[in-house]
Structure 1
Amino acid sequence: AKRMIEEVSRVGGNAIKFQAYKAETLASRFSPAYWDTRKEPTRSQFELFKKHDKFWKKEFEELADYCKTYKIDFLATPFDMESVDFLDPLMNSFKIASADITNKPLLEKIASKEKPVLLSTGASTMGEIRRAIELLKRHGAGDITLLHCVLNYPTRWEDANLWRIVRLSENFPGHRIGYSDHTSSDSMMEVLPLAWMLGAEVIEKHYTWNKNLPGNDHYHAMDFKDLKQLVEKFKRLEKMMGSGVDYLESESVARKYARRSLVATRNIRKGEIIRRTDITSKRPGTGVSPWKIESIVGRTAKKNIQEDEILTEDSVEC
């Protein structure tokens, strides 16, 4: 766990999140598996969680302190009332798992801490999400960020359903939208950047220091190499997005020389009235813009103008 904190911090991650649960309070002994048993052969949720529920209050306090050393935010998803209480002083916000969006007592408990909430919305209807938001607000929760999520491990890329990010934005204006991703890390890093471009302001992804470790999460998680590549890609994309300024300084030369000016089609003597057939438009754009052609027709030439000469404001009478 400490190694992962070090790696995520080193590559530029903003936060690292763990899960705080005990098998006895999370799953019945008769709860069947819902994951790919070819990757994780354990057939019972209780048995799987029992194998991994080794961290509790003391360990999470130690990890929270370790995160401070590496200047990275500590988070942990609580799955019961006890973990809500001991995690509260360690975190600035709470994360709620998709599967607990209907767990009214847990939502009320978390909301009572009056902190911001990250709410995963996997396998939920818009009505269930709205109901959870209203409950959280009613019981004191701070700002609520909604995370699009597909509750399937791993998620096939064609099931990522990223357009739901846009739907969440439309249905819940005023709430930040993010994406909790369970797709296998792809070499092109397409899924997460696309989610970001669709409006996901928070990105959550499983992380491991070794994808070959046994278990249900490691094989579809990101490792250090993946995360480093993703952070670099986000930085490039952020630069590509720009600020939306009308045009860039790098376009100034082209703006001047690739645009057109009014140009004489014949030799025009000083004092002649300029007719429409006397002028056309050609590059560069250093003279009178062709946008002003109507105002130039009918004016008097102030000087002799050669054929193909660019007209300027000094070429004609006002």
Structure 2
Amino acid sequence: MQIYITPEKKISQFCKPYIIAEIGANHNGDMKLARKLISEASKCGCDAVKFQSWTLTSVDSEACFQECGTEKEIQKIKDQVKKYSLNQSQHKELKKICQEFNVDFCSTPFSFDEVDMLAELDVPFFKVASGDLTYLQLIGYMAEKRKPMVVSTGMAKLSEIEAAIETIRSKGNNDIILLHCVSLYPPEASEVNLKTIPYLNETFGVPCGFSDHSIGIHMPLASIALGASVIEKHFTLDHNMEGWDHAVSATPEEMTQIVQYSNEIQIAIGHKSKTLSPREVEMRSGFHRSIVASTPLTAGTILKEKHFAFKRPGTGIKPVEAKYLVGRKLKCDIKFDFPITWNDIN
């Protein structure tokens, strides 16, 4: 199955992986920093950059904030949420910047109004956050926009994933991509469970990818070998920057490696068969062995196994064919260490 994100880019495990640089809130409320992140993601070869579209009131209730600690601590978090949120004008500006750097602009909406705003901006797909997998009302509203749906599955039970898929399909939208995700920042290696990727693909029959929160580049690269057709990785300029996700993000150097190596791995996966490349065929004669004389042999010699040695190159009689030479008579002399050919025997 393949899904077109844009007329030029399609999602399939047989195609170049679609790489999303998850900027999220790593712009820290600074549009100059956001521009720099987009520019660097483009240089890395990423297909898309993704932001998050929320406000102080579109996700967390006041009761949720009250669980964050003291009044001072609560106010600090509210100030951060307000600072890191993006208004409609900023969304439009970010899309223009993405067009300037030839990278797809997308964002995760957390409310109906934000879905409408992103639809007006003609994002190539809608992203469902792991935390909203059970928010079927919002998922259904996104699906009605008839754009591909990229659905993260962190914290989800299989039945919840199935319900989300059924909701999307009930709206006449069959363009669904699941992202295996572990909603820990970062997860331990034992918690990543990359075999979930082919399992989700086999279970639901849709393209699958990996939304990664691990440290380093090895987990997303490993996911390609297990069939991931989309990689989403948080992106930063510096792990030590102030903010929520910089520590678990990829730097430009790391993202460049993810893009480069994931493309190479996808090509190297190949197909389920045992075939030889033309270059490997050329190597056969040089590295395989042939039957050569283990001692100088004279015409009339009745060949025995003791007369044989097996050495490179493999241009003569194969070692497995030695039994067909035993008992045969030589028609000519054979020098030591030279091949015995079918023309040399009666």
CA separation of 1:269 and 1:54: change in aligned 2, threshold 3 A = closer
The structural deviation recorded for 1:275 is 4.9
Q: Secondary structure at the match of 2:156?
A: coil
Residue 167 of structure 2 aligns with an amino acid whose one-letter code is L
Match of 2:291 among 252, 262, 266: 262
Q: Is the counterpart of residue 301 in structure 1 residue 338 in structure 2?
A: no
Alignment partners' CA distance in 2, 1:147 and 1:49? 28
Equivalent-residue separation in structure 2 for 1:250 and 1:72 (angstroms): 38
Q: Is the counterpart of residue 202 in structure 1 residue 234 in structure 2?
A: no
Alignment of 1:44-193 (within 5 A): 47=78, 50-52=81-83, 54-89=85-120, 90-172=122-204, 174-183=205-214, 185-186=215-216, 189-193=217-221
Residue 37 of structure 2 corresponds to 4
Residue 135 of structure 1 deviates from its aligned partner by 1.6
**Residue 252 (str. 1) matches residue 282 (str. 2):** yes
Amino acid at match of 1:74: F
For 2:321, which of 292, 301, 305 is the aligned residue? 292
State the distance in 2 between where 1:216 and 1:307 align.
Answer: 75
TM-score, length basis structure 1:
0.83
- CA shift, 1:230, in A, is 3.3
Q: Deviations 1:10-44 (Å, cap 9, x if unpaired)?
A: 12111000111122222211115999x9xxx9558
Alignment match, 1:25: 58
Q: How far did residue 220 of structure 1 move?
A: 2.2
Q: Pick which of 213-222 and 117-126 moved more.
A: 213-222
Cα deviation code 1:294-314 (max 9, x no counterpart): 444455534333454311232
| Cα RMSD (Å) | 3.2
TM-score normalized by structure 2?
0.77
Residues 56-80 of structure 1, C-alpha deviations (whole Å, 9 max, x = no match): 3322122112211111011111111
Q: Which residue identity is paired with 2:64? A: S
> Hey, what does 2:30 align to over in structure 1?
none
Shift of residue 237, structure 1, vs aligned partner = 4.7
> Residue type of the partner of 1:249?
R
CA gap of 1:203–1:273, structure 2 versus 1, over 3 A, is: same
Asked whether the equivalents of residues 113 and 140 of structure 1 are also in contact (C-alpha less than 8 Å), the reply is: no
Larger mean Cα displacement after TM superposition, 24-33 or 85-94 = 24-33
Letter in 1 for 2:96: D
| 8 Å CA contact retained: 1:165, 1:198 | yes
For the residue of structure 1 that corresponds to 2:177, the secondary structure is strand
Would you say the 8 A contact 2:225–2:269 is kept in 1? no
Displacement of 1:121: 0.2
Q: Provide the C-alpha distance between the structure 1 equivalents of 2:292 and 2:189, rounded to a whole number of angstroms.
A: 57
SS in 2 for 1:75: strand
Structural mapping, 1:38-49, within 5 Å: 42=73, 47=78
- Whole-Å separation in 2 of the counterparts to 1:295 and 1:128: 66
Structure 1 residue 136, shift from structure 2 partner: 0.8
- Confirm or deny: 8 A CA contact 2:126 2:150 kept in the other structure: yes
2:240 pairs with one of 212, 229, 232: 212
Q: CA deviation at 1:106?
A: 0.8
2:224–2:266: 8 Å Cα contact kept in structure 1? no
| CA spacing shift, 1:47–1:157, aligned 2, 3 Å | farther
User: For the residues of structure 2 that align with 1:45 and 1:121, how far apart are their CA atoms?
Assistant: 30
Residue 139 of structure 1 and its aligned partner are, at CA, apart by 0.9
Q: Residue 55 of structure 2 contacts residue 82 of structure 2 at CA under 8 Å; is this kept in 1?
A: no
Q: Match for residue 7 of structure 2?
A: none
Q: Return 5+ residue gaps in structure 2 as ranges.
A: 1-33
Q: Is the CA contact (8 Å cut-off) linking 1:117 and 1:145 kept in structure 2? A: yes
